[in-house]
Amino acid sequence: MPPVLELSQITKRFPGVLANDHIDLTLNEGEILALLGENGAGKTTLMNILYGLYQPDEGEIRVRGQKVSIHSPTDAIRAGIGMVHQHFMLIPVFTVTENVMLGAETVRSGGFLDRKRAAERILQISKQYGLDVDPDAYVRDLSVGVQQRVEIIKLLYREADILIFDEPTAVLTPQEADSLFAIMRELVRQGKSIIFITHKLREVLEFSDRITVIRRGAVVGQALPGQADKNLLAAMMVGRQVTLEVEKTPAQPGEVVLDVRDLTVADDQQQVMVEGVSLQVRAGEIVGVAGVQGNGQTELVQALTGLRSPTAGSIRLLGQDITHAQPRRVTELGVAHVPEDRQKDGLVLSFPVADNLMLCTYYLPPFSKGVVLQEPVILKNALERIEEYDIRTPGPMTSVGSLSGGNQQKVIIAREFSRPIRFLVASQPTRGLDVGSIEYIHKRIVQKRDEGCAVLLVSPELDEVMELSDRIAVMYQGKIVAVLNAGEATKEMVGLLMAGVSPEGLEKPTTPQAVEATL
């Protein structure tokens, strides 16, 4: 029996970039294939070719032994291929049924939509695969995990049997992630075949049947989970040995640097996103904020960095009130900010690397004398930072927008860390980065802590929070529901708090077995 899917010699070129270099890939029926690779390795390009969003320059695609031409997502669906994107393609004000049937409408006599018939089929699919979704619920009222189930149902409704999952657990709690993989196992048990892209090595080893690794646009190796480990896979991805465990000594907390009291922050629609939050961060410690994205973390960081004015409460930095301070004032007081969206809030993409490396202090000596920028000083600073922070760029005058995501992040890290700082706000500092870049940035954050800087780490990646933090604050629906010592917290405990279980409901368990007893 031929593989359910074969990609042969797939090649894709963009101006100056060979994104896919004669890639061969096979997927067998009833198999979960993990696709690993660094940022820019070519994984997403390859999947976009398979889903009809890009056209290959060379190569061919075969489904069940038959050559197919895929020029659009419609062609892909017709060939039985569906894709669950990392950012869901759902309309919040529509019901589950309306979202699922959109583009594949069921019509009854008279030309009216047959919502009842569509809902019945959704219920049947939901029951068959253990997806547990209410067809009449509005998407805006569903949790992220259930929204993802709706995306899966959309593909099954269209009878796709080759499913692509792009970073499927990026926005899920650990419990939701486990539930997703149980669903994926049920899908393959019933004959579906799955490719999933992830940078989480633990997931690859625990849940895949086979692993393919891509580096610099080419397949560099394959492995079976039972014959590989994290270190081997990381080395295959990056091309060198990578230290996966965060190496740090016990924290030595000093004076209170950040003191937040009863803080309330609203979003642009005046909806309260942060409600009555109180938190302290001391010099020489990392406090991690754990929580599923969308529970007020973004608005909290914006308030701390002067990008959004709170509606109530206070923020004090080293005793000074900065509750309503402007971003420049916050920066001048020694606050560094690594934003969650590096391209929108951290860089001017059309500017060269050299200019981005001094954006925070361009108006101060030595970069400026009065209103005149000192170009030789700016260039010298850029060359030093490029070498010190290993920024891979053709040169200091290269547009920062042309760099890879990892190197863009290094530009921000270099700019923020190379000036005197007392407080670091690192919001999703390794979002979308490969293991090599993650290793580098983690080391730099720990180094700042050891130099006496207070660090607030905000990340939806629970592994990252638990590995880096000295204390963990769990945020749910705009409130900090618990603050735990990192050495005493378990992943199961924090995951339950992220999902809304009250601290009292946990009965303060200290072992995974004790947590399981609360489920």
> Could you list the mean pLDDT of each consecutive 10-residue stretch along the chain, which spans 519 residues?
92 86 94 85 87 93 94 92 83 93 78 85 91 91 86 91 86 76 91 88 89 91 90 84 80 96 93 95 96 89 96 96 95 94 89 95 92 94 91 88 82 93 93 76 93 94 90 94 91 87 62 34
Identify the bridge partners of residue 456 per DSSP, sorted by sequence position. Answer: 287, 425
Whole-Å CA distances, 199 to 4, 14, 196: 25, 24, 10
Give me the CATH number covering residue 181.
3.40.50.300
* Residues 204 and 319 placed together within one structural domain of the fold: no
Buried/exposed 308-339: b ≥16 CB within 10 Å, e otherwise: bebeebebbbbeeebbebeeeebbebbbbbbb
Identify the bridge partners of residue 62 per DSSP, sorted by sequence position. Answer: 6, 67
* pLDDT at res. 170: 67
* pLDDT at res. 293: 78
* Residues 450 and 305 placed together within one structural domain of the fold: yes
* Residues 462 and 382 placed together within one structural domain of the fold: no
Domain boundary among 369, 390, 418: 418
Domain boundary among 368, 385, 418: 418
Q: What are the structure tokens assigned to 166, written together?
A: 């792009």
* Residues 71 and 194 placed together within one structural domain of the fold: yes
With vertex at residue 208, the alpha carbon angle to CA 205 and CA 210, rounded to the nearest 5 degrees, is: 100
* Residues 408 and 426 placed together within one structural domain of the fold: no
* Residues 209 and 183 placed together within one structural domain of the fold: yes
* Residues 94 and 216 placed together within one structural domain of the fold: yes
Model-level pTM?
Answer: 0.69
* Residues 152 and 38 placed together within one structural domain of the fold: yes
* pLDDT at res. 463: 85
Domain boundary among 418, 453, 484: 418
* pLDDT at res. 509: 41
Q: What are phi and psi of 432, to 5 degrees?
A: 70, 15
* pLDDT at res. 171: 65
* Residues 315 and 360 placed together within one structural domain of the fold: no
Chain Cα centroid distance, residue 158: 28
Residues 6+ apart with CB under 8 A from 513: none
Measure the CA–CA gap between 133 and 265, rounded to whole angstroms.
33
* Residues 199 and 327 placed together within one structural domain of the fold: no
Q: How many domains does the chain have?
A: 3
* Residues 98 and 13 placed together within one structural domain of the fold: yes
Question: What is the extent of the structural domain holding 383?
Answer: 340-418
Q: Is the separation of the CB atoms in 515 and 496 below 8 Å?
A: yes
* Residues 132 and 273 placed together within one structural domain of the fold: no
